[in-house]
Chain A
Amino acid sequence: MSESPKSNEVGVGGMAFERPIEEIEAKISELESLSQSTKLDISSEIDALNKRLREQIEATYARLGAWDRVNVARNSKRPVASEYIATILDDFFELHGDRAFGDDRAIVTGLATVEGRRFMLVAHRKGRTTKERLDCNFGCAHPEGYRKALRKMRLAEKMGLPIVSFVNTPGAYPGIGAEERGQAMAIAENILAMFALRVPILVIVIGEGGSGGALGIGVGDRVLMMEYAYYSVISPEGCAAILWKDGERSPDAAEALKLTANDLLRLGVVDGIIPEPLGGAHRAPDDAMRQVKAAILSALDELALVPPDELVAARYRKYRTMAAIDGRFPAPPSAGRADDR
């Protein structure tokens, strides 16, 4: 609980549904320090509590609602781009700037290697410490961020490198400078350009998939989502404010928007879900990042076999027919000619 001296190290993030878990965690750490200071053997009590903890986490996470998941996706201990870079990449050489306006730190781009596979990494950057968060504007990119991403993606195409994109943003930044410099135009250009890139694009939503700001680096041959990530056209808060003029109803909005990984898989918007450790990525970041790494390796290996023409044609078909799942729409007349592009 919040009074517990350990509360900063466990649970976290003000997620009400985690309170029972945090209570047990606090008790365990209390007992552990007790056993250390008194040299009493209370390991059986601790084991029993650990078992209870596991059951509590299982029970809690088995019935997470959409809004809970949004909070897990935003959890301050959830791994962010810089940690993925430090943990799962064997090499990373950052490439800064859009060569036009500036270097938007809300998106990091660079040459990356994982177990011999080379690729261009494009990732929303949220930061861990308060200073880092401010520095990268909490993952809310400006147009120069999207233009930087586009420049590096085009470079990847020239170099024959696949692109791996990590999506984790509350949304593109809504500000005066962002509008002046063409936020909408930058995102639109990226989406259009990503359809023409002749190298594989793997997109992984690692946390928040915030609307157009996510899609601006989110068009891919494979789009994967972590188990507790969310992806939505609008934030639940925004939706609740518009529909009910009441931010308190964000949980209702989160349910209505169908923004969880399972929803998106069912709707055919994402191709797969990357499982997270029990109790979410924030509870075992290294395990979570290992899962992502494994997903990157298998997706890159699979996409590497596809010839560029086929890749581009399949990407077009994927998005052209994405929502027409019940065949209600007339078949796109040009779909059959996708290969002769």
Chain B
Amino acid sequence: MDETKEIPTPSADRRDDAVPSAPRENEIVSKEEESDAEDAGNEKAPERPSRLSRLRFSKKKDMPGGLWLKCESCGQVIYRKELEEKGRVCPACDFHFTLPGSDRIRATLDEGTWREEYADLTPLDRLEFSEKVSYAEKIQNTLKRTGQNEAYLCGRGKILGRPVVLGVLDFSFMGGSMGEVVGEKFALAVELAERESLPMISFTSSGGARMHEGVISLMQMAKTCAALDRFNAAGGFSVSVMTHPTTGGVTASFASVCDITLAEPGALIGFAGPRVIATTIKQELPPGFQRAEFMLEKGMIDAIVRRTDLRDTLAKLVDYAGGD
């Protein structure tokens, strides 16, 4: 049954000229992680998933400056400005759209408190991985497009006055995929938190491991857990917030083993991407499969928190972690 390892069906059309900050299908992913996360919004029209996802990510629709866009989850056509005003939460179904990393930091920390660390680390093409364009070239293009050196942003900041270390895995940079530098920055962030006795607050949106870095990506699952293990032994406190989508090697490592795991409503959370599963088992997936609500019901996360309540919740959890 070698089929289990086949991951056919990459359906979303992928473009190399990405649209700034639009969550797009991710090129990365590993095997199980094949996170066509976006595809998951699809329960409504299982008959044509690939076509749907193509629509959803068509340039016209998601072009910045376009006035309207369609909700990934309920299909409602939303006025872009209204969506932005609501913090990228669908006014019709409350689906929480993926937030670009910089927006996430802004939405989480007190104004003016963000001090980024390790921002200079940039991805390495150790395998000299080549497809249509080389990975090295892809890195350069993504750097230019996003103005960021990697998918992981980390540093110090304050949440309602409480100092924390914040790390954000940003889907808009190569699908938030975890390569060597993402793993390294997470580990460095955890170590910073340990040194300064601060809580570690981790946000994720990711398709999983970064294929272009091969087994080195895979080893980041071990590296991030190694750092967390030491942090735990030193009495550190960590909170993971899984946002849409968090899949593959990221879910199967640091995102799932923080002290408290939260999720935003509707977030896709899983190991294998829904398309991989549907292909493997050759049947339709149940409605709501792998959504935050589903994972809560199955006992896999501690709580679902709406975006507007996250700051209060994180501050409260940090207070509890201080003991009585």
Least CB distance, A335 to chain B, in whole angstroms: 9
B221 touching A215, Cβ below 8 Å: yes
Whether A332 touches B188, Cβ cut-off 8 Å, given contacts A188-B253, A242-B27, is yes
A171 at the B interface (CB under 8 A): yes
In this assembly, does A323 line the interface, its C-beta being within 8 Å of a C-beta of chain B? yes
B272 touches A211 (CB 8 A): no
Assess the B9–A241 pair: CB atoms within 8 A. Answer: yes
Q: Does B187 contact A (CB under 8 A)?
A: yes
Asked if B10 is an interface residue, CB under 8 A from chain A, the answer is yes
Contact A184 B127 (CB under 8 A): no
Residue in chain B with minimal CB distance to A181: B298
Contact B195 A333 (CB under 8 A): yes
Which of chain B's residues have a CB closer than 8 A to the CB of A140?
Answer: 1, 4
Instruction: Answer yes or no: B150 CB below 8 A from chain A CBs.
Output: no
Max chain B Cβ within 10 angstroms of own Cβ: one of A172, A211, A213, A258: A211
Beta-carbon contact of B214 and A259 below 8 Å: yes
Residue of B nearest to A333 (CB): B191
Closest to A237 in B: B6
Q: A258-B127, A332-B191 are in contact. Are A247 and B6 (CB under 8 A)?
A: yes
- Contact residues, B187-242 vs A (CB, 8 A): 187-188, 191-192, 194-195, 209, 211, 213-223, 225-230, 233
Given contacts A183-B252, A316-B226, contact A332 B187 (CB under 8 A): yes
Q: How far is the CB of A59 from chain B (nearest CB, A)?
A: 28
Give every chain A residue within 8 A of B270 (Cβ-Cβ). Answer: 179, 183-184
A248 shortest CB reach to chain B, Å: 12
A interface, size bucket = 35 or more
Chain B CB within 8 A of A207 CB: no
B285 at the interface (CB under 8 A from A): yes
Contact of A174 among B191, B211, B254, B271 (CB under 8 A): B271
Known: A176-B281, A179-B271. A256 touches B219 (CB 8 A): no
A residues less than 8 Å from B61 (CB atoms): none
**In the complex the two chains form, is A257's CB within 8 Å of B271's CB?**
no
Which residues of B have CB within 8 Å of A329?
Answer: 121, 184
* The one of A211, A237, A244 that contacts B30, using a Cβ cutoff of 8 Å: A211
Check B2 for interface membership: any CB of A closer than 8 A: yes
Per the bound structure, the CA–CA distance linking A137 and B2 in Å amounts to: 10
**Best-buried of A179, A213, A259, A315 by chain B (most CB within 10 Å):** A179
> At the interface, is chain B mostly helix, strand, loop or mixed?
helix
- What B residues does A332 contact at CB under 8 A? 187-188, 191
Contact B222 A180 (CB under 8 A): no
Could you say which residues of chain A place their CB within 8 Å of the CB of B10?
241-242, 245
Render A183-222 as a binary contact track against B, CB cut-off 8 A, 1 for contact. Answer: 1110111011001100000000000001111011001000
**Contact A188 B256, CB 8 Å, known A179-B290, A183-B272:** yes
Q: A330–B277 Cα gap in the complex (Å)?
A: 39
Across the interface, do B6 and A241 meet the contact criterion of CB distance under 8 Å? Answer: yes
Measured CB to CB, the nearest residue on chain B to A140 is B4
Bound form: Cα–Cα A269–B216 in Å: 8
Question: A247-B8, A267-B126 are known contacts. Are A259 and B277 too (CB-CB below 8 A)?
Answer: no
Which residues of chain B (1-58) have a CB below 8 Å from chain A? Answer: 1-2, 4-10, 27, 29-34
Query: For B269, what are the chain A residues with a Cβ–Cβ distance below 8 Å?
Result: 184
Select B222's contact among A189, A238, A241, A322, beta carbons within 8 Å: A322
A334-B191 contact, Cβ under 8 Å, with A179-B270, A231-B215: yes
B7–A235 CB distance below 8 A:
yes
Whole-angstrom distance between the Cβ of B255 and the nearest chain A Cβ: 8
Flag whether A294 is at the interface (Cβ < 8 A).
Answer: no
B34 contacts A242, CB within 8 Å?
yes
Q: Is A74 an interface residue (CB 8 A)?
A: yes
B129 at interface by CB-CB < 8 Å: yes
B324 sits at the interface (CB 8 A): no
A119 sits at the interface (CB 8 A): no
List residues 67-125 of chain A with CB under 8 A from any CB of chain B.
Answer: 74
Whether B211 pairs with A242 at a CB distance below 8 angstroms is yes
Judged by a CB distance under 8 angstroms, whether A295 is at the interface is: no
A137 to B272, CA, bound (A): 17
CA distance A269 to B223 in the complex (A): 12
A153–B29 alpha-carbon span in the complex (Å): 29
Interface pair A256/B131, CB less than 8 Å apart: yes
**Residue B257 contacts which of A189, A263, A330 (CB distance < 8 angstroms)?**
A189
Check A278 for interface membership: any CB of B closer than 8 A.
no
A170 CA / B248 CA spacing, docked (Å): 15
| Complex contacts, A322 vs chain B, CB 8 Å | 219, 222-223
Cβ of A228 under 8 Å from chain B? no
Q: List chain A residues, Cβ under 8 A from B229.
A: 192, 195-196, 316
Inter-chain CA distance A244–B248, complex, in Å, is: 20
Query: What residues of chain B lie closer than 8 Å to A74, measured between beta carbons?
Result: 2
A175 within 8 A of B: yes
Chain A residues with CB below 8 A from B214, complex form: 232-233, 256-259
Judged by a CB distance under 8 angstroms, whether B300 is at the interface is: yes
Residues on A with C-beta less than 8 A from B215 are 231-233, 257-259, 263-264, 267, 269
Q: Give Cα A243–Cα B131 distance, bound, in whole angstroms.
A: 7
List B residues 280-305 near A (Cβ within 8 Å).
280-281, 285-286, 289-290, 294, 298-300
Asked if B69 is at the interface of the complex by the 8 Å CB criterion, the answer is no
Residue B130 at the chain A interface, CB threshold 8 Å: yes
Cα A178 to Cα B192 in complex, Å, equals 35
A319 contacts B281, CB within 8 Å?
A: no
3 nearest A-B residue pairs (beta carbon): A174-B272, A238-B7, A184-B251
21 sample A-B contacts, Cβ–Cβ < 8 Å, listed by A number: A74-B2, A138-B2, A172-B272, A174-B280, A178-B272, A182-B299, A183-B32, A185-B252, A185-B256, A212-B32, A212-B248, A213-B32, A215-B221, A234-B30, A239-B211, A242-B10, A243-B131, A256-B214, A320-B223, A320-B226, A332-B191
Residues of B within 8 A of A (CB): 1-2, 4-10, 27, 29-34, 118, 121, 124, 126-127, 129-132, 180, 183-184, 187-188, 191-192, 194-195, 209, 211, 213-223, 225-230, 233, 247-249, 251-257, 269-272, 276-277, 280-281, 285-286, 289-290, 294, 298-300
